[in-house]
Amino acid sequence: MSEVARRICPVCEAGCSLEVAHEGRSVTGIRGAKSDILSRGFICPKGAALKELDADPDRLRQPLVRRDGVLQPASWDEAFAAIRRGLMPLIEAHGRDSVATYVGNPTAHNYELALGFGVMAKALGSPYVFTAGTVDQVPKQVSSGLMFGSRMAVPVPDIDRSDYLLMLGANPIVSNGSLWMAPDFRGRLREMKARGGKLIIIDPRRSETAEVADRHHFIRPAGDAWFLMALLHVMLREGALLTPALAPHVNGFEDISALAAEVDLARASAACGIGMAEIETIARELVSTPRAAVYGRIGTTAQKYGTLTSWLIDAVNVVAGNLDVPGGAMFADPPAFGDVYGGNGPEGFAIHRYTARVTGHPEVLGEFPLAALAEEIEGNDEGRIRALICMAGNPVLSAPNAARLDKALGTLDFMVAIDIYLSETARHADVVLPGVSPLEKGHYDSFLSFFMTRNVARFSAPVFPLANNALSEWRIMLTLAAIVSGMGADDASVSALEDGVLADIAGPDAGLLHGRGHRGVEAWLDMELRRGPFGSGSDENGHGLTLDKVLAAPDGIDLGALQPRLPGMLRTASGKVELAPQILVDEARRMLAGEAADEDQMSLIGRRQVRSNNSWMHNLPMLAKGPFRCTLMVNPADAARLNITEGGLARVRARTGMIEVQVEITDEIAPGVVSLPHGWGHDMAGAGLSVAAERPGVNSNVLTDDADLDAITGTAVLNGIPVRLEAVG
């Protein structure tokens, strides 16, 4: 008999609610759930492909333990025993700092893993935490920390009420939005345009989003900070003032005015490649349109001026009067886990509090840059990293100077991977613990609800019960926590640890935790919903949120459009928006004083594709079919100059390495710029992705440089890499 269950898609930040039709344990079809209040029926091919992911014979279903050099199936007890034997002697001999952790992107979509990681990392007590954040959004979180006092205070465009969006370095038609939960972006855009709204795209490539925009301007890679400084210059020169709503809550208007006055408009225009008249028009439109917002994503964060650019985007939002107003750039109000992810003690927001032993890299958001991981492992330094716990991450394909990291991982004394595949990274592990199918776990938008375009609370229960012999990822992380705490890894010990952890988190709210009918991580979620801004508190009959209420509403509970939240949500020491943090003003002056870029160099940038998600969905036949996607886009003028032909091979050289890649000639890409997607290179011996290996593509991160970083956060420059190009043969 056929049944239909609901499941929020865990692949990307759109969080589409899906209807999963199944007969028993077998999925018969997946489509978008029309009645979901946030995603409204939207689905992309990756959501439909969860059917194949669930059934993929390559998906791991049993732990693997290395014996005689080979990874072999093992029981959970054997796997945990091997982890204890591998890690504990290292910890005893070299301290907890000798064990590093890496947290990959799917953790942001997996609340069990995210919360479980927190428990495990605390038990481990090593400062060597690395995450995909330092190849991604950390610059935005740091600029938000500096301006608003919280790393999670990232404003999002209120697209459903906006009339003007300026977007830099983002391609939501393909990516479906990031640090911005706006499923069905295409539909929301259509509605905005029907109201007369306008979309302006700034991108070195005429992206799929640029194709549906009102205007598109090519920009030099990493020219965004120049462009935004020029916008500020024009707005302030023409007399922009803080709006009456913002003025009482903003510090630093004079400082930013002084900085913007130093900008030479002609020079800024030349540096970014956008004409002065266009800059002036956009500046005026942003000020004169009451409901307008600026938004930037990976092209603005994973680049040379990532933090500077991230700050300038919100500085423009403030000066144009568009922050915290309906239709502008607004803050969501997460119904749960506000404090868990907020991560701010009473001392306020701080970075660079300590440094890494080998590289001297300063800490950022409690972690070190992923770019530093290889060097922290290499060599004979007593303080080096000797073991790694890699959770839902594939840095061999996603980190800068990937070949160096690949080599370094091979020299570790011990490595654990928690993954659903034997990935290019997991193949280095001594023990691989299998995550479960996305259809075997519950979903709550824990991290993503900070970036929702409308406040909602949604939960989907597992479609299928855990397979025989499977362990939930929450339980996996708790067991690892027990092991590194020196406790037993048996069921009773882990349950005792869980009780202690939850009691600790509840503190005085213990009454919200117990006797409410939920267990484990769901009990934690229930408590967070109850004590959150829309919660019922301890009033059982109250109107507020509880997990049971959210469970009873498969389409989600609508908590309304985004509301102005200043000044209440600010966590800065001053209690105001810091419009001109000194470290960012200094960085801006450094850029203004710097040399212009070398115009003869080609510049490499990345791109995303609908049928791909970072490195790990290339094993699903539904997505893998069709045209070859790992191509280097080259402008016709560059191709002609370099004798490069369509479909032929080009050699691309950078400081760190060289690749040969299939060429796609197109005027979508600006002259002087080439674009290559990341997450390919599935031809590494020992990985277990048989479909992906048929058309492996090349690893673009052989070309990205672990020494080329955003100065403030150490985030890798993945866009705007100087490369040389030549035809092969």
Ligand X SMILES: Nc1nc2c(c(=O)[nH]1)N[C@H]1C(S)=C(S)[C@@H](COP(=O)(O)OP(=O)(O)OC[C@H]3O[C@@H](n4cnc5c(=O)[nH]c(N)nc54)[C@H](O)[C@@H]3O)O[C@H]1N2
Site residues (CB under 6 A) for ligand SF4? 9, 11-12, 14-16, 43-44, 46-47, 176, 183
Which partner, ligand SF4, Mo ion, ligand X, none, binds residue 279 by CB below 5 to 8 Å per kind? none
CA angle at residue 184 from 180 to 188, to 5 degrees?
85
Of all residues in the shown chain, the one whose CB is closest to ligand X is 299
Which 3 state secondary structure label does DSSP give 727?
Answer: strand
- Shortest CA distance to 423 belongs to which of 60, 165, 141? 60
Interface pick for ligand X out of 166, 202, 470, 481 (rule CB under 6 A): 202
CA distance linking residue 218 with residue 507, whole number of Å? 53
Number of residues that bind ligand X (CB under 6 A): 63
Coil, strand or helix at 669: strand
Contact with ligand X (CB under 6 A) among 20, 71, 79, 135: 135
Among residues 718, 722, 723, 725, which is the contact residue for ligand X, using CB under 6 A? Answer: 718
Sheet of strand 215-217, all strands in order from the earlier edge strand to the far edge: 215-217, 198-202, 164-168, 292-296
From ligand X, ligand SF4, Mo ion, none, which one binds at residue 612 (CB under 5 to 8 Å depending on kind)? ligand X
Question: Cβ(502)–Cβ(523) under 8 Å?
Answer: yes
Show contacts with ligand X in window 665-684 (CB under 6 A).
675, 678-679
Find the part of the chain contacting ligand X (CB under 6 A) among 64-72, 83-91, 649-657, 699-707: 699-707
**Helical H segments across 95-184, by residue range:** 111-124, 138-148, 172-175
| CA distance readout (Å), 365 to 130, 372, 472 | 10, 15, 28
β 64-67/70-73 pair status: antiparallel
Examine residue 631 and tell whether it contacts ligand X (CB under 6 A).
no
Our CB check for ligand X shows the closer of 186 and 571 to be 186
316 binds ligand X (CB under 6 A): no
Residue 398 as a binder of ligand X (CB under 6 A): the answer is yes
Binding positions for ligand X, 254-313, rule CB under 6 A:
297-300, 302-303
Q: Taking a C-beta distance cutoff of 8 angstroms, is the pair 407, 702 a contact?
A: no
Cα-only R_g, the chain: 25
DSSP state of 179: S
Determine the interface stretch with Mo ion among 8-16, 133-141, 341-349, 550-558 (rule: CB under 5 A).
Answer: 133-141
Instruction: Quote the least distance from Cβ 243 to ligand X, whole Å.
Output: 27
User: Which residue in the shown chain puts its C-beta closest to ligand SF4?
Assistant: 47
> In angstroms, rounded to a whole number, what is the distance separating the alpha carbons of residues 125 and 120?
9
Please report how close the Cβ of residue 133 comes to ligand SF4 at its closest, in angstroms.
Answer: 19
For residues 157 and 329, give the distance between their C-alpha atoms in angstroms, rounded to a whole number: 4
Give the alpha-carbon dihedral of 608, 611, 617, 618, to 10 degrees: -100
Which of Mo ion, ligand X, ligand SF4, none has residue 43 at its interface (CB below 5 to 8 Å by kind)?
A: ligand SF4
Closer to Mo ion by CB, 105 or 455: give it. Answer: 105
Cβ-based nearer residue to ligand SF4, 176 or 398 = 176
Among 39, 144, 612, 656, binds ligand X (CB under 6 A): 612
Please tell me whether residue 13 binds Mo ion under the rule CB under 5 A: no
Strands (DSSP E) contained in 579-641 are 602-605, 632-634
Q: How far is the CB of 366 from ligand X (least distance, A)?
A: 18
Beta bridge partners of 65: 72, 431
DSSP E strands in 601-701: the ranges are: 602-605, 632-634, 649-653, 658-665, 673-675
Among 52, 314, 419, 526, binds ligand X (CB under 6 A): 419
Of positions 6, 66, 205, 216, contacts ligand X by CB under 6 A:
205
Choose the stretch contacting ligand X; rule: CB under 6 A; options: 408-416, 492-500, 519-527, 600-608. Answer: 600-608
Give the contacts of 415 (CB within 8 A, at least 6 positions apart): 387, 388, 389, 390, 409, 428, 429, 430, 431
Give min distance, CB of 367 to ligand X, in A: 13
Both structure tokens of 624 = 């893998």
104 binds, among Mo ion, ligand SF4, ligand X, none (CB under 5 to 8 A by kind): ligand X
| Region near Mo ion per CB under 5 A, out of 46-54, 95-103, 134-142, 579-587 | 134-142
Q: Which of residues 58-117 bind ligand X (CB under 6 A)?
A: 104-106, 110
Select 66 or 109, whichever has its Cβ closest to Mo ion: 109
How far apart (Å, rounded) are the C-alpha atoms in residues 292 and 193? 13
**Any idea how long the chain is?**
729
Q: How far is the CB of 188 from ligand SF4 (least distance, A)?
A: 13
Q: Of these partners, ligand X, ligand SF4, Mo ion, none, which one is at the site of residue 15 (CB under 5 to 8 Å by kind)?
A: ligand SF4
For ligand SF4, the closer of residues 157 and 581 by Cβ is: 157
Both tokens assigned to 497: 């640890």
Of the candidate residues 221, 252, 273, 697, the single one contacting ligand X (CB under 6 A): 221
Smallest gap from Cβ 92 to ligand X, in A, equals 28
CA nearest neighbour of 155 among 533, 562, 559, 576: 562
| Nearest distance from C-beta of residue 79 to Mo ion, angstroms | 29
Nearer to Mo ion, 136 or 158 (CB): 136
* Tokens matching residue 498: 């869980």
Angle at 9 between CA 526 and CA 624, to 5 degrees: 155
Per CB under 6 A, residues contacting ligand X are: 12, 104-106, 110, 132, 135-136, 168-172, 174-176, 178, 202-205, 207, 219, 221-222, 224, 297-300, 302-303, 392-395, 398, 418-421, 423, 435, 605-610, 612-616, 675, 678-679, 700-701, 704, 718-720
